[in-house]
Amino acid sequence: MWMMLIALVVAVAAMAFAVKLLRGSAPEQQVQRRLKTVQQSEFAPTEFETATDLRIEDRLSRLPWLNRLLARLDVASRLRLLLIQAGVKRTVGSLLMICLFAWIGTACLLYLRFWSVPIAAGLGLLVIPLPFLYVLRRRTKRFQRFEEQMPEAIDMLVSALRAGHSLMTAIGFMGQETAEPLSGEFRQCFEEQNYGVDLRTALLNLGSRMAVQDLQIFIAAVLIQKESGGRLAEVLEKVAQTARERFRLRKQVRVHTAQGRMTGWILSLLPVGLGFAMYLVHPEGISVLWTTSIGLKLLYTAGIMNLLGALVIRKIIRIRV
């Protein structure tokens, strides 16, 4: 009884802490922490200094020991860039702490069902990738939204250039008149250049934050025109036309591969759903899979083959444009 109560309390506390980390703190508390950091450091970096180059080391966690550990790992910088690209206002340490407490909470809940620490801890590991999948999903949706906005934004830029405005003034118009996420990214690029960052660094930072192929073509066209000269408006007009055609072709490919994607989802989720339904109907019959040695072997083999099948289907239907 005491073990059940302790496990339940730990599970609830871990889940609540993970949700709090995911939601973040109040804006007032964030402002107070920022002011306290500036007051404690004599040469505290400003927002301009940390935004000029994404390769500059930034705080990866609010915990000093965790920040020092993540600073030594190359994966920490990649995770930080991933969070920036997804538009998630969290640190790398917060993301890792969310995974840790989600695993603890899930393991405690599973312990109440199986009464076995190794099994509960092993099955609880399945929730660790979920926060990363959430970040990757947000990143993909943000990139897709950015790609949809690129042709119209470049057309606006071309119109501003032909009206006699400079390139940075036209980029400032894009940051004000377009919707998110394109407006926020180009507004940050415009502000970096206003604070003294050269145009090349500002555009390369923009390309690092948004790894979109159409944007890379746009940046390359602008930088080449700055070095060799030429009519930038005409070049960007061709870039907008190319981006629009690529976007149309990509949508057409998604239509033709819709059946394959649906087949992959059904074949991947059907064994899991069917096994759960059989467990609800007849628990003693399906429990043979994890109570006997031959059942565990069959379960592991089925899981590996299901994963390999999903990867093969994804490889077949994933056509790069």
Task: Residue 126: name the closest of 108, 104, 144, 103 by CA.
Answer: 103
Among positive and negative, which fits the CA dihedral 192, 198, 202, 208?
negative
pLDDT value at residue 164: 87
Amino acid occupying residue 18: A
Please report the pLDDT score of residue 321 as a whole number: 67
Query: What's the pLDDT at 45?
Result: 40
H-type alpha helices, 125-229: 129-162, 167-177, 182-194, 199-209, 213-228
pLDDT values of the chain reduced to their tens digit, one per residue, 321 residues: 545 556 555 556 656 656 665 555 444 444 454 445 444 444 444 433 344 444 434 555 566 766 676 666 667 778 888 888 988 888 888 888 888 888 888 888 887 777 777 888 888 888 888 889 999 999 999 998 998 899 988 999 999 888 888 888 889 888 888 888 999 999 999 999 888 888 899 999 999 999 888 899 999 989 988 888 778 888 899 988 988 888 888 888 888 888 888 988 898 889 989 988 888 888 888 888 888 889 888 888 998 999 899 889 888 888 776
Whether the Cβ atoms of residue 142 and residue 86 lie closer than 8 Å to each other: yes
Instruction: Say how many C-beta atoms besides its own lie within 10 A of residue 190's C-beta.
Output: 21
Q: Which two tokens stand for residue 93?
A: 């340490």
Give whole-number Cα distances, 277 to 63, 264, 270, 305, in Å. Answer: 44, 20, 10, 21
Residue type, 102: A
Note whether 291 and 249 are within 8 A (CB). no
Query: Given this model, what pLDDT does residue 279 score?
Result: 85
- Would you kindly state where each structural domain of the chain is located, as residue ranges? 2-24+57-127, 141-255, 257-317
Give CATH superfamily name and number for 141-255. Type II secretion system (T2SS), domain F (1.20.81.30)
- The pLDDT assigned to 145 comes to 92
